[in-house]
């Protein structure tokens, strides 16, 4: 089974701080994703990466950046955290098969910005 | 781009009853429709999926139906159990571009 590990389950940061959220997958997948989960809004795509050093903006990239220096690791960066970035962040890795693309999610990182 | 709408946002049923969650999508090119279940403190996990060339798929107590003409698909859970209580997300996708609904919080009362 694919395993996706998010290193921080809960973080509390102050406005203006730089925040790193780390995600590691163990299946040599090319495609990795960062989603933000908010009540009533579902899962919204922030960024995805289809290979090392390659990235694409999702629906809500403003205020975020990403880094993919190694295939197994995909990091989400908040350059200057703001209170409206308080949320649950989910990392996912994609298994591409015959007719199906299955996302495996990490357990999530709940970020509170004070 | 794709837009997926999901209803209801909350659903409460008695144990043993059936539960139905409905989704609509906007992009007729979408060809893959997965359903994810998120239990408390965990990330979403795939429970069932359906491709656009299939009208219905069943896996034990859960089933999914797809109406391509109307662009809607539904999740059916029969004989609900307390462990079915979770948040359920539908999604529509074309390739790796996957869009999720807002989620349905299902509560199964014992």
pLDDT at position A60 is: 95
Mark the ranges of chain B whose per-residue pLDDT is less than 50: none
Q: Report the residue from B34, B43, B100 with minimal CB separation from A42.
A: B100
Compute the distance between CA of residue B70 and CA of residue B13 in angstroms, rounded to an integer.
27
pLDDT score, position A67: 96
HEC secondary structure over chain B: CCCEEEECCEEEEECCCCEEEEEEECCCCCCEEEEEEECCCCCCEEEEEEECCCCEEEECCEEEEEECCCCEEEEEECCCCHHHCEEEEEEEEECCEEEECCCEEEEEEC
Residue the block writes with tokens 């995600």? A23
Among chain A residues, the shortest Cα distance to B100 is held by A43
Q: Is the pLDDT of residue A109 over 90?
A: yes
Question: Residue A42: its chain B contacts at CB < 8 A?
Answer: 4, 6, 89, 100-103
For residue A2, what pLDDT is reported?
A: 73
What does the DSSP assignment read for chain A?
Answer: ---EEES-SEEEE-TT--EEE-EEESS--S-EEEEEEETTTEEEEEEEEEETTEEEE-S--TT-EEEEEETTEEEEEESS--GGG-EEEEEEEEEEETTEEEEEE---EEEEE-
C-alpha distance from B78 to closest chain A C-alpha (Å): 24
Structure tokens at A53: 């050093």
Rounded average pLDDT over A15-39: 95
Rounded to an integer, the average pLDDT of A42-47 is: 94
**Average pLDDT over chain A, rounded to whole?**
93
Closest CB to B101 among A35, A42, A103: A42
Percentage of chain A exceeding pLDDT 70:
99
> Which tokens is B96 given?
């790796």
**pLDDT score recorded for residue B102:** 95
Alpha-carbon distance B91 to nearest alpha carbon in chain A (angstroms): 10
pLDDT for position A66 = 97
**Tell me, what's the pLDDT at B92?**
94
The torsion of the CA quartet A17, A44, A62, B1, rounded to 10 degrees, works out to: 170
DSSP sequence for A74-90: EEEEESS--GGG-EEEE
Q: Give φ, ψ of A112 to 5 degrees.
A: -115, 125
What was the pLDDT predicted at A63? 96
Q: Which of residues 8-67 of B touch A (CB under 8 A)?
A: 9, 32, 34, 36, 41-46, 49, 51
Min Cα separation B37/chain A (Å): 11
pLDDT in tens, A71-98: 999 999 999 999 999 999 999 999 887 7
Over residues B87-101, the pLDDT tens digits come to 999 999 987 788 999
């Amino acid at each position: 089974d694919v395993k996706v590990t998010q290193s921080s389950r809960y973080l509390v940061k102050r406005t203006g701080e730089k925040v790193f959220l780390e995600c590691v997958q163990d299946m040599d997948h090319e495609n990795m994703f960062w989603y933000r989960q908010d009540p009533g809004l579902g899962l919204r795509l922030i960024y995805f990466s289809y290979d090392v050093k390659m990235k694409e903006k999702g629906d809500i990239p403003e205020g975020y950046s990403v880094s993919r220096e190694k295939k197994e690791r995909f990091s989400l960066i908040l350059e200057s955290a703001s209170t409206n970035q308080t949320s649950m962040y989910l990392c996912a890795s994609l298994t591409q098969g015959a007719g199906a693309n299955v996302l495996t999610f990490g357990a999530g990182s709940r970020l509170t910005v004070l | 781009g794709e837009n997926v709408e999901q209803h209801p946002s909350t659903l409460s049923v008695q144990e043993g009853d059936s539960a139905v969650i409905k989704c609509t999508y906007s992009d007729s090119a979408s060809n893959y429709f997965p359903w994810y279940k998120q239990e408390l403190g965990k990330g979403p996990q795939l429970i069932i999926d359906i491709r656009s060339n299939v009208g219905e798929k069943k896996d034990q107590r859960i089933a999914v139906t797809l109406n391509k003409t109307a662009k809607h698909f539904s999740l059916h859970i029969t004989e609900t159990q307390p462990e079915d209580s979770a948040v359920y997300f539908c999604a529509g996708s074309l390739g790796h571009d996957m869009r999720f609904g807002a989620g349905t919080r299902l509560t199964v009362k014992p």
